[in-house]
Amino acid sequence: MSPLHDQLTDYLRIRRTLGYKLERAEKLLPQFIDYLERRGEALVTIENTLAWVTLPRGSASWRSFRLSSVRGFATYLHALDPAHEVAPADLAPGRADRATPYLYSDAEIAALIAATSVLRGALRQATYRTLIGLLAVTGMRVGEAIRLDHDDVDLEHGVLTVRATKFGKSRELPLHASTVLALRRYTQLRDRLCPQPTTVAVLISPAGTRLIYCNVHSTFRTLRDHAGLRPRSASCRPRIHDVRHTFAVRTVLEWYRAGVDVQPRLPLLSTYLGHVHPKDTYWYLSAAPELLAIASSRLADAEGAGS
């Protein structure tokens, strides 16, 4: 292993002791180091940082993220050896604009689940069928779902424990009886097709390993295309994360239709979704025309009653 790879291992270890997860950085920075080694360079410079950051096609926000990952590592290296250079933060400017949520219909979720039949192997089909269904009925993040271990799933009491969340907090999610049944059937099939997996993960690959985040996104694109889902606009494209958005919006829609007072329940939804700030939950809801129409109607009725 090269000195830069050794230093990267130390860098990630130190940063994680401070509470940072650095999941994407752990994937990107080895690629950057491999790039330097192919060029025969042992130092991080502004020039080779810019060359690597702008190498792939992608959005300005993605280039900015790559630059941010390298700058963190370069700052660490510079403290050890001033010969390493830290690129300016505005070298690859880009603002990460939030995409417009793609809110799935029941038919579209069903189409995604049906599209798993194109995947190779019964276990892979069952794993992605279960993953999409689980995201749809719990609103979990993709990373939370693939990090689920056997001990996190209590099928007897119908509860999932979500650990090591985005903000370092754990939470429990109650499950509907139909979800419990689906998970039980999946685990039975999984154990039959892969009796000796190499991981304690609930959702596994045909090789018996935990699912990898980037592979999940790649597979979802295959399912999306096979299901015939198309972008609704340049900023509204069907993403796997939007299954979570859809769950949040549907939950509030059901509350409105049931005639309950929604406002006091929104903090409960924020907690269920694992949001630290309620404003993050409001963002999920602000992009739903049907929800905004119902809210506007409620407001008009309230104003009419008060006049």
Catalytic residues: 141, 166, 241, 244, 275, 284
Q: Which residues pair with 174 in a beta bridge?
A: 159
Round to whole Å and give the CA distance between 140 and 273. Answer: 7
**Residue 7 CB: number of other CB atoms within 10 A?**
17
Residue burial 256-293, b: 16+ Cβ < 10 Å; e: rest: beeeeebeeebeebbebbbbeeeeebeebbebbeebee
Round to whole Å and give the CA distance between 247 and 170. Answer: 19
Handedness of CA 112, 117, 121, 125 (dihedral sign): positive
- How large is the angle between the packed helices 60-80 and 46-53, nearest 10 degrees? 150
3-state helix/strand/coil string of 116-152:
HHHCCCHHHHHHHHHHHHHHHHHCCCHHHHHCCEHHH
Coil, strand or helix at 159: strand
**Residue 300 CB: number of other CB atoms within 10 A?**
10
> How many residues comprise the chain?
307
